[in-house]
Amino acid sequence: MALDSERRRSSGLKKDRVQSIFNLVESARSGDRVCMEKLVGLFHKEIFQMVYFRTGSHMDAEDLTQEIFIKMSRGLFQLKDPGLFKVWLYRIAINRVRDFHRKKRLLPFLALTRTLEDTEPSGGSDSPLNRVMEQEFRSQLDHLIRKMSLSEREILTLRFVDELGIREIAEILKKSESTVKTHLYRALKKFKQAHGLRALLKGTLS
């Protein structure tokens, strides 16, 4: 009973948030600057994290996030269905990151290793062994990611880093849900087959 009650409460909160976003979009499209600012504040953190994960640079992520929300504010009146706002916003963000990589002539893969390097070690974990294991983990993870297709990388990240649902991912990438599931399955299968990476996650070098 307690679990059912918690599920109903969670579902209710989600519906309330969706309705709140819908109302903000409706008002912002009519020129309400306060509602526009609230929309930016509501999504700024998750869009910044999404962009940073894909660039590995705080400075670039800040600049790109600002550009994304400028484009959002300028194009919001063209959004026909306020209920698709989140999908529309994520599509803007993904396309802007793609343009960023294209212009810099970089491979459009996730900058996971640089993201990990920017993270300060905590407590007593900064031992020689841990540093070696972390370096090896980054190396194997980067190698695994390079073996994935662009679609696999994007879908894996949208699902487990950005925590989006299959339907949302399908709408953002303009793919069918079955295609998204297929790419996700293939990406996860590659992780499962990476025995050395799995060993490092358990804290042992293979």
- Is 76 contained in some domain? yes
- Is 100 contained in some domain? yes
- Is 6 contained in some domain? no
pLDDT band at 168 (very low <50, low <70, confident <90, very high): very high
What is the residue whose two structure tokens read 């948030």? 17
- Is 170 contained in some domain? yes
Sequence-separated (6 or more) residues with CB below 8 Å from residue 167: 177
Fill in the DSSP letter of residue 162: S
Whole-angstrom Cα distance, residue 196 to residue 36?
A: 48
pLDDT band at 130 (very low <50, low <70, confident <90, very high): low
Tell me which residue of 24, 112, 115 sits closest to 76, measured CA to CA. Answer: 24
Q: Looking at the predicted structure, is the pLDDT value of residue 162 above 90?
A: no
CATH assignment of the domain containing 51: 1.10.1740.10
Same domain assignment for residues 74 and 140 = no
What is the residue whose two structure tokens read 């396309």? 95
Same domain assignment for residues 52 and 91 = yes
Residue spans of alpha helices (H) in 57-205: 58-75, 85-103, 112-117, 128-147, 150-160, 166-173, 177-193, 195-201
In this prediction, residues 144-166 reach a mean pLDDT of 82
Same domain assignment for residues 98 and 145 = no
Question: 151 to each of 120, 144, 180, how far by Cα in Å?
Answer: 30, 14, 9
Same domain assignment for residues 18 and 90 = yes
* Angular region, 110: left φ>0, alpha ψ -120 to 50, beta rest: beta
- Is 166 contained in some domain? yes
Same domain assignment for residues 94 and 160 = no
User: pLDDT over 70 for what percent of the chain?
Assistant: 67
Of residues 85 and 161, the one with the higher pLDDT is 85
Residue 115 pLDDT? 46
- Is 146 contained in some domain? yes
Q: What pLDDT, in 10s, does the model give residues 75-123?
A: 998 888 988 999 999 999 999 998 888 776 544 344 544 444 444 444 4
Q: Which of 108, 143, 169 is the last residue of a domain?
A: 108
Q: Looking at the predicted structure, is the pLDDT value of residue 9 above 90?
A: no
Sequence-separated (6 or more) residues with CB below 8 Å from residue 162: 46, 49, 50, 90
Whole-angstrom Cα distance, residue 197 to residue 200?
A: 5
- Is 174 contained in some domain? yes
What tokens were used for 76? 């919001």
- Is 180 contained in some domain? yes
179-201: b (≥16 Cβ within 10 Å) or e: ebbebbeebeebeeebeebebbe
Print the domain residue range for 134. Answer: 111-118+129-206
Same domain assignment for residues 78 and 44 = yes
Same domain assignment for residues 136 and 191 = yes
Q: Which of 108, 140, 167 is the last residue of a domain?
A: 108
What kind and span of H or E run contains 166? Answer: helix 166-173
What kind and span of H or E run contains 95? Answer: helix 85-103
Q: Looking at the predicted structure, is the pLDDT value of residue 139 above 80?
A: no
Same domain assignment for residues 187 and 145 = yes
In the chain, how many domains are there? 2
CATH assignment of the domain containing 186: 1.10.10.10
Q: Which of 108, 142, 168 is the last residue of a domain?
A: 108
